[in-house]
Amino acid sequence: MLMDSALEGHFSNDDGEELVRLASRCLQYEARERPNAKSLVVSLMSLQKEAEVPSYVLMGIPQGTTSPKHPLSLTPFGEACLRFDLTAIHEILEKMGYKDDEGIANELSFQMWTSQMQDTLNSKKHGDSAFRAKDFTSAINHYTQFIDGGTMVSPTVYARRCLSYLMNDKPQEALGDAVQAQAVSPEWPTAFYLQAACLFSLGMESDAQENLKDGTNLEAKKSKN
């Protein structure tokens, strides 16, 4: 119940219980109640059954991809986010358009269609025009009106406002939008790539690399389908 179900069958119940026990000790609030590094390593060594197997094999990491700067074979979008090349990110988002919004449920009442929809669509239209013209301050304002209208949900609008915030040196707000894009479309690689760009901007390189990895894996999964 406490461990990743994907690990099932890879070790005995006794070893699993020992790992959970060790993890629990490491998470104790009082530092004195946590194991020191030496005792922890000794405990873990007794659980490793394949001591001759390289760690990258045990972790499922392809050889040659462990460099912290280039951990994965990235797509052009992933590379742009890794380099924090905002101009390239803008070009890619503009070229992608709204195709990734397909399938997003937007349930609208007749009243919304008649009284609010036109204003909402106009806000998006003006935001797109500003985004295309690289007027990112205006893009933020128009996309915010679209989002606050609450009649439609668009992960692409969150992605575009995210970049607009980055262009205005507001990485924290940009990260919030990238997370929202993921919440709307949980398996959209673009949301993870943008989170990586925001995290790089905030100096959180380790977390950024994880998001690059997640985005790359999702993109590979989509290409297979």
| pLDDT per position as a tens digit, 15-64 | 878 888 888 888 888 777 887 777 777 777 777 665 555 554 555 555 44
pLDDT for 200 equals 92
Angle at 188 between CA 83 and CA 155, to 5 degrees: 95
Examine the pLDDT at 75 and tell me if it is beyond 90.
no
pLDDT for 69 equals 46
Q: Which has the minimum average pLDDT: 90-99, 113-122, 154-163, 211-220?
A: 113-122
The Cα–Cα gap between 210 and 151 comes to 33
The Cα–Cα gap between 217 and 34 comes to 35
Token pair for 91: 């070009």
CATH architecture of residue range(s) 76-224: Alpha Horseshoe (1.25)
Prediction pTM value? 0.65
Q: How many CB atoms lie within 10 A of CB 164?
A: 29
pLDDT for 116 equals 65
Examine the pLDDT at 216 and tell me if it is beyond 50.
yes
Across the range 187-213, mean pLDDT stands at 93
Across the range 75-96, mean pLDDT stands at 92
Across the range 137-141, mean pLDDT stands at 96
3-state helix, strand, coil in the chain (%, to 5): 65, 0, 35
- More confident call, 221 vs 188: 188
pLDDT for 107 equals 56
Task: Please name which of 122, 126, 153, 151 lies closest in space to residue 140, comparing C-alpha atoms.
Answer: 126
Question: Would you kindly state where each structural domain of the chain is located, as residue ranges?
Answer: 5-49, 76-224
Query: Could you tell me the pLDDT band of residue 189, with boundaries at 50, 70 and 90?
Result: very high
pLDDT for 21 equals 85
